[in-house]
Amino acid sequence: MAEHASSEPPLGFEHSYQSLPEHFYSRLSPEPVAQPQLLLLNEELVEAFSWDREMLRQRAAQWFSGNRLPGDASPIALAYAGDQFGQFVPQLGDGRAHLLGEVVDRQGKRYDLQLKGSGRTPYSRRGDGRACLAPMLREYLVSEAMHALGIPSSRSLAVVATGEWVMREQPLAGAVLTRVAASHLRVGTIQYFAARQDWSGVRMLAEYTLNRHYPEWCATTTPCLDLLQVVSDRQARLLAQWLQVGFIHGVMNTDNMTLSGETIDYGPCAFMDLYDPATVFSSIDHWGRYAYGNQPAMATWNLRRLAEALLPVIEAELPGQGRQRAQTILTTFPELLQEYWMQGMRDKLALPGKEAGDGALIEELLAIMYRGKADYTLTFRRLADALAAGERGVAEWCAAFTDPQEARQWFAEWLVRLREDRRSDAERVAALNGINPLYIPRNYLVEEALSAAVAGAWQPFQQLFRVLRNPFQEQEGMARYSAPPPASWGDYQTFCGT
């Protein structure tokens, strides 16, 4: 077990989750590793938590491998259940993760600090509790890129190599990721207690979640109904943002959907290149359940599972009314998601105000992109270039489609709608470039960077990371990082390695 030395300095941990009954989690320490080596440390997060940088660097390899722990750490593994590709599993839990505690940043926001790949727990089932280096680097890179894109997400503090091999199909280098999240409370956490008909546990968890994430709701007398309402809103916002950047989570099981409305668990995730709603990358998603275009339906499905888990307590909170109130939330969720998505797409096109024809304009562009085999990210980003460069720019934008004339007709319609307010074209260009990223974690660049890093060559990873930290501003000499994949790239699959 990890050495928890009282001589180790504290890191400022608090432990509010441990105020809940002990059957909500299991107390245990991480398993030590052979030769911990710090590979990555997120200096931005170190600053945000007001930690002593030198002190942390000296201890990071030991602390963030789990070999030793900060003096105020109190490691636990969380219990939860989940629907995995539609099949309910009543006990999942942190099978290879240890929550060390909660830290509060300079703005007073509370975050969990969790080690991932830190050894077996009571929830490991037949797993070894370990993680491989490449998937941990992938989560570090993509989670930080999502944060830079302005999308609610867990973040990554550190990656530590373990000096050990992890046995999968072949021996792979091991690593531990330190993840920072608003919390690790999931739809599956509620399901865990509901499956055991522990209704007092469901209510306690709802109250805790509201108090931690939604304090404006914490005085309510109907915590389970209100939790369903606020999670509905947060998930609708989050899904709309995923769709707007072409992000595909890849494994939207209920144990991967947070109650805080953050993106979490970057396993088989990827970003779409050519626009196609059927795009799916995950090697285990054989039927496209979590394809790009299915994500809204799957979010609705997950919310229904949350409602089912909360419903007995909701009915007790509001006798004779609870079921109908819950049903109303579920019925309106697709409309809410559509509303957030529409507003985000108006922003991506810099459309002023709201008009009835906006939906048709947006859908026609997407249809042209699909038929024209257009790159999702660059189609939107280059609208600003076309607007700024006049006819030459318009011709270049249209040339990216297999039917340039069809694209030109749409562009003309967009210009009429775009110029209905008094902004200058320069202001419109700035608005477009402020919402449409130039740089995303292109799948081929991510794989290139991971392969090099695992082989010990860190420059490609570090360069890609630097570019992705500033996704909206064109960076000199970085044109290859905005380019679509080469024709030789071919089909791409992701794997649930994290």
Catalytic site positions:
255
Amino acid occupying residue 197: Q
Planar angle of CA 400, 404, 406, nearest 5 degrees: 125
Name the residue among 124, 87, 103, 245 with its Cα closest to residue 179.
103
Residue 153, beta-bridge partner list: 263
Which residues have a Cβ under 8 Å from the Cβ of 113 and sit 6 or more positions away?
A: 11, 13, 99, 100, 101, 102, 103, 157, 178, 179, 180
Question: Residue 230 in 3-state DSSP?
Answer: helix
Which residues have a Cβ under 8 Å from the Cβ of 241 and sit 6 or more positions away?
A: 150, 151, 152, 247, 340, 344
H-helix segments, 149-222: 187-195, 199-213
Which residues have a Cβ under 8 Å from the Cβ of 63 and sit 6 or more positions away?
A: 8, 11, 69, 70
Which residues have a Cβ under 8 Å from the Cβ of 165 and sit 6 or more positions away?
A: 171, 172, 173, 174
Name the residue among 214, 176, 174 with its Cα closest to residue 61.
176
* Token representation of residue 372: 């024209």
Q: How many CB atoms lie within 10 A of CB 263?
A: 23
Amino acid occupying residue 360: A
Distance from CA of residue 415 to its chain's centroid?
Answer: 34
Name the residue among 63, 42, 38 with its Cα closest to residue 53.
42
CA distance 378 to 381: 5
Amino acid occupying residue 364: E
